[in-house]
Amino acid sequence: MTHLTEGEKAPDFTTKDQNGNTVSLKDFRGKKVVLYFYPEDDTPTCTIEACNLRDNYDELKKAGFVILGISPDDKMKHKKFEEKYDLPFTLLEDPQKKIIDKYGVWGEKNLYGRKYMGLHRTTFLIDENGIIFKIFKKPKSKIHSEEILKAAS
**Catalytic residue numbers, as ranges:** 46
- For 153, residues 6+ apart whose C-beta sits below 8 A from its C-beta are none
Q: Could you say which DSSP state residue 23 is in?
A: E
Count other C-beta atoms under 10 Å from residue 152's C-beta: 16
Half-sphere exposure of 130 (CA within 13 A, CB side): 11
